């Protein structure tokens, strides 16, 4: 499922510009340890993390992650969104918890 369709179905806000939202989501991975996420997330996973600094974009790029979902209404730095747009990674925001996101994603993916 395309990131844009996923965002619409789960009512997530796409925070980034650029072509990131045309990527395909294959699954989901939730973890806030960057090295752990990078090595265990599968190609095409949507990654849920509370981190919002610019390094999450590099991690997503290295691990072939399809998009990043920031839960609980956490605000994302402008620099991160800019980098995300450059690298073609969509960042999605929502007030939902990681658990709520995963439950809804589980029915769709």
Query: Which residues form the interface with another protein (CB under 8 A)?
Result: 32-36, 38-39, 43, 49, 51, 53-59, 61-64, 79, 83, 87
CB 58 → another protein: shortest distance, Å? 3
3-class secondary structure, 104? helix
Distance CA 24, CA 9 (A): 14
Phi-psi region of 59 (alpha: psi -120 to 50; beta: other; left: phi over 0): alpha
Residue closer to another protein (CB basis): 10 or 20: 20
Residue closer to another protein (CB basis): 7 or 85: 85
Other residues' Cβ atoms within 10 Å of the Cβ of residue 21: 22
Residue closer to another protein (CB basis): 49 or 94: 49
CB 83 → another protein: shortest distance, Å? 8
């Amino acid at each position: 499922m395309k990131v844009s369709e996923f965002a619409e179905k789960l009512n997530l806000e796409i925070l980034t510009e650029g072509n990131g939202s045309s990527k395909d989501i294959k699954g989901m991975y939730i973890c806030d340890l960057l090295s752990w996420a990078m090595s265990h997330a599968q190609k095409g996973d949507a990654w849920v993390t509370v981190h919002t600094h610019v390094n999450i974009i590099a991690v997503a790029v290295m691990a072939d992650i399809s998009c990043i979902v920031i839960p609980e209404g956490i605000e994302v730095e402008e620099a991160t969104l800019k980098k995300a747009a450059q690298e073609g990674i969509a960042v999605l925001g929502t007030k939902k918890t990681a658990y709520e996101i995963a439950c809804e994603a589980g029915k769709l993916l």
